[in-house]
């Protein structure tokens, strides 16, 4: 019953947190607490009847005591208290490599932990190995390891439902600032920062509105997060009164950066989220980002990647163009009339008749027919391209589109 087990585990952590803030989840049903600096309970009467509390001087001794099903005692158990306990308790506690070791010790005639404690330490290590030496030190209280502390996952999202709908920007900013104060305090307590923020507005009528804003650098101050949020709110148009606001932060580790004279850094990184929010408010959420070449050969076809807060390059090494002679594209392309010979793939341009680059064509390379998406008629495309050299030694790319549409795409 996973739901019941999850509820029981939550209740177990609640009881543990009432005793000590530092605990280790040793197993699904076992927690080891650090009671140093805490007041141990004088009596033990938990809400879960089968829940046992055993105190000892080291974490592993406390685990052994819990496996022995000993009654509660306000006095911590020491190494002498484990003398009458059976040797098989080590296997029940799940110590690594203890199964073969216990079989060997039982062949020697040992039955209790006290008998194992009385063996000479050096001779035991020579005959049974390092695992036996570790257990021997554990039973004498010489081995006290550090706990692997368990921390509950903090929620970096807040939802506020308003009793009366909000219709002014000032009231919305006031509420967002209060929410950011709480969220940033959680970030500071966890030694984290926000890489991005998102919000969702619900209205009295109409669908909810959500936005996601990336930050140039991780931040954990309310002022640094409120400025881009304020700019984004100013660019929105609410169809009706706002009834709820949801704010969420994406937590990451704070970025450690060394400002160098020769390094490329934003001159004022604190203003970049504000600029980005203004652009997204004017152009749209999906129209601001870093362009990347699309997986195809259609000219000027690209996708937009969201702006990241990290310093990774816009293009990886395998995406950089391999052409040694760059093409400066004309946007929009220059329309022209062309004198040519032949038809279809046998077409050869002879001269540019109109446009700012009219003149005879001295040399050509091509034709290079390209096409794509032929399986989907609405988005299919095809064209024929040439690289041409005019009499004045200038190099251009010439393209022929359907319906005898000639264009100068760019200049090399």
Give 379-398 pLDDT, tens digit per residue: 788 889 999 999 888 999 99
- Work out the average pLDDT over 182-201: 87
Global confidence as pTM: 0.41
Lowest mean pLDDT among 34-43, 184-193, 340-349: 34-43
Query: How many CA atoms does the CB half-sphere of 145 hold within 13 Å?
Result: 15
Higher pLDDT, 102 or 397: 397
Q: What angle do CA 326, 330, 335 make, to 5 degrees?
A: 130
What is the per-residue DSSP string for 181-211? HHHHHHHHHTT-EEEEEEEEEEESSS--EEE
Residue 247 pLDDT: 92
405 beta partners: 401
Tell me the C-alpha distance between 123 and 129, whole Å. 10
The correct CATH number of 157-257+264-278 out of 3.20.20.70, 3.30.70.890, 3.40.50.150, 3.30.1490.100 is 3.30.1490.100
User: Taking a C-beta distance cutoff of 8 angstroms, is the pair 280, 196 a contact?
Assistant: no
Percentages (nearest 5) of helix, strand, coil residues in the chain = 30, 30, 40
Tell me the C-alpha distance between 338 and 349, whole Å. 7
Number of C-beta neighbours around residue 319 at 10 A: 10
User: Taking a C-beta distance cutoff of 8 angstroms, is the pair 201, 242 a contact?
Assistant: yes
Q: Tell me which residue of 161, 209, 157 sits closest to 180, measured CA to CA.
A: 157
Give 303-361 pLDDT, tens digit per residue: 888 776 444 444 555 555 556 678 888 888 999 999 988 887 888 899 998 888 888 99
Q: Tell me which residue of 93, 55, 107 sits closest to 77, measured CA to CA.
A: 55
Tell me the C-alpha distance between 47 and 15, whole Å. 9
Instruction: Give the containing element (helix H, strand E) for 276.
Output: helix 272-283
- Give me the residue label for tokens 């035991």: 124
pLDDT-above-90 percentage for the chain = 8
Give 121-173 pLDDT, tens digit per residue: 888 888 888 888 888 888 888 877 888 887 666 678 889 898 888 888 889 99
Q: Tell me which residue of 141, 15, 16, 147 sits closest to 76, measured CA to CA.
A: 141
Rounded to the nearest 10 degrees, the angle between the axes of helix 130-139 and helix 121-128 is: 150
Q: Where in the chain is CATH 3.30.1490.100?
A: 157-257+264-278
What are the phi and psi torsion angles at 62 (to 5°)?
-65, -40
- Give me the residue label for tokens 């934003």: 266
**Residue 84 DSSP code:** T
């Amino acid at each position: 019953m996973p739901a019941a087990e999850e509820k029981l585990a939550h209740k177990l952590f609640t009881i543990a947190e009432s005793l000590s803030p530092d605990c280790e989840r040793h197993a699904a049903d076992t927690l080891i607490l650090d009671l140093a600096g805490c007041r141990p309970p004088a009596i033990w009467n938990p809400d879960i009847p089968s829940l046992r509390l055993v105190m000892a001087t080291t974490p592993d001794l406390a685990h052994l005591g819990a496996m022995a099903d000993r009654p509660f005692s306000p006095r911590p158990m020491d190494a002498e208290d484990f003398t009458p306990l059976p040797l098989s308790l080590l296997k029940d506690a799940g110590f690594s490599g203890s199964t073969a070791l216990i079989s060997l010790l039982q062949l020697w005639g040992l039955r209790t932990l006290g008998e194992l404690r009385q063996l000479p330490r050096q001779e035991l290590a020579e005959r049974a190995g390092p695992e036996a030496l570790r257990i021997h030190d554990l039973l004498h209280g010489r081995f006290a390891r550090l706990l692997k502390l368990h921390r509950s996952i903090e929620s970096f999202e807040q939802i506020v439902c308003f009793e009366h709908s909000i219709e002014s920007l000032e009231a919305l900013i006031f509420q967002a600032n209060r929410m950011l104060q709480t969220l940033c305090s959680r970030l500071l307590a966890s030694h984290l920062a926000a890489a991005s923020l998102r919000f969702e507005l619900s209205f009295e009528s109409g669908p909810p509105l959500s936005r996601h804003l990336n930050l140039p650098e991780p931040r954990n101050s309310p002022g640094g997060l409120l400025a881009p949020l304020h700019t984004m709110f100013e660019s929105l148009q609410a169809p009706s009164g706002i009834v709820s606001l949801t704010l969420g932060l994406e937590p990451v580790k704070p970025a450690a950066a060394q400002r160098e004279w020769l390094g490329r850094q934003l001159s004022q990184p604190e203003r970049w989220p504000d600029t980005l929010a203004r652009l997204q408010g004017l152009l749209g959420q999906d129209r601001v980002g870093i362009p990347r070449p699309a997986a195809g050969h259609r000219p000027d076809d690209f996708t937009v990647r969201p702006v990241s807060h990290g310093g990774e390059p816009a293009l990886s090494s395998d995406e950089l163009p391999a052409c040694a002679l760059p093409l400066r594209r004309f946007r929009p392309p220059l329309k022209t009339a062309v004198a040519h010979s032949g038809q279809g793939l046998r077409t050869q341009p002879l001269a540019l008749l109109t446009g700012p680059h009219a003149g005879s064509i001295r040399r050509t390379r091509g034709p290079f027919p390209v096409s794509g998406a032929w399986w989907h008629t609405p988005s299919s495309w095809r064209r024929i391209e040439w690289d041409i050299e005019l009499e004045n030694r200038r190099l251009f790319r010439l393209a022929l589109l359907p319906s005898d549409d000639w264009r100068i795409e760019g200049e090399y």
